[in-house]
Amino acid sequence: MVNAIIILCAYIIGSIPSGLWIGKIFYKMDIREHGSGNLGGTNSFRVLGKKAGLAVTILDILKGTAATLLPLIPYFSETQIHPLILGAVAVVGHMFPIFASFRGGKAVATSGGVLLGYAWPLFIILIIGFFISLKITKIVSLSSMIVSIIGVIYSIIYAFLTGDYSLLVLVIILASFIFYRHRANIKRIKDGTEPKVKWL
């Protein structure tokens, strides 16, 4: 029973549609009807502005972290569910949120939050890598996919040095999510029509 409840909690945490709620509460706007139609931080930046975009991104990151750290709660301390599985469930919740008709984000920020909760050095590396890539390419989606590859490379080295393959498996799954959710972006990148940021 505890295992079922903790998995459900991870999904519900991941399902919190930060972009949708912030848009509706503070801006009287459904961001799914504007920009890319996505609920993530990038579209929130584009549609609602920098403050809202930053708030949505931080909240989406914390969703992954909170789900990963659920076993630290006394009630869940006896669970046999690996924290990374809970993180992955939260990412699924973010992509397919029950509170937003299963139309969610693209998994990037919440995936980062999972890594923040389980392997914070990797999270820091990916944040640095993301902004370096964004500075060079000016494309958020491309930078997100690039850092997912960096994460896989890091995890391979980590698994080789420590013998812990759980992080590698999780990062491969998250990277697959990210690439899958960016299918349309990949096409636009190939066509040269993907929007570029102007603030960096």
Residue pLDDT, tens place only, 156-187: 999 999 988 999 999 999 999 999 999 999 99
Non-local CB neighbours of 33 within 8 Å, separated by 6+ positions: none
Q: Considering the domain boundaries, does residue 199 fall inside one?
A: no
pLDDT higher than 80, residue 26: yes
Q: Considering the domain boundaries, does residue 37 fall inside one?
A: yes
Q: Considering the domain boundaries, does residue 200 fall inside one?
A: no
As for how many domains the chain has, the answer is: 1
Q: Considering the domain boundaries, does residue 197 fall inside one?
A: no
Q: Considering the domain boundaries, does residue 198 fall inside one?
A: no
Cα distance between residue 113 and residue 183, in whole Å: 22
pLDDT above 90 covers a percentage of the chain that reads 82
* Average pLDDT, rounded, for the chain: 93
Q: Considering the domain boundaries, does residue 138 fall inside one?
A: yes
Residue pLDDT, tens place only, 114-141: 999 999 999 999 999 999 999 999 999 9
DSSP 98: G
- Output the pLDDT for position 70: 97
Residues 56-70: b if buried by 16+ CB within 10 A, e if exposed: bbebbbbbbbbbbbb
Among 52, 153, 33, 56, which residue's Cα sits nearest to residue 108? Answer: 56
Q: Considering the domain boundaries, does residue 196 fall inside one?
A: no
What is the token pair recorded at 157? 């080295």
- Output the pLDDT for position 200: 65
List the domain range (segments joined by +) for residue 108. Answer: 2-191
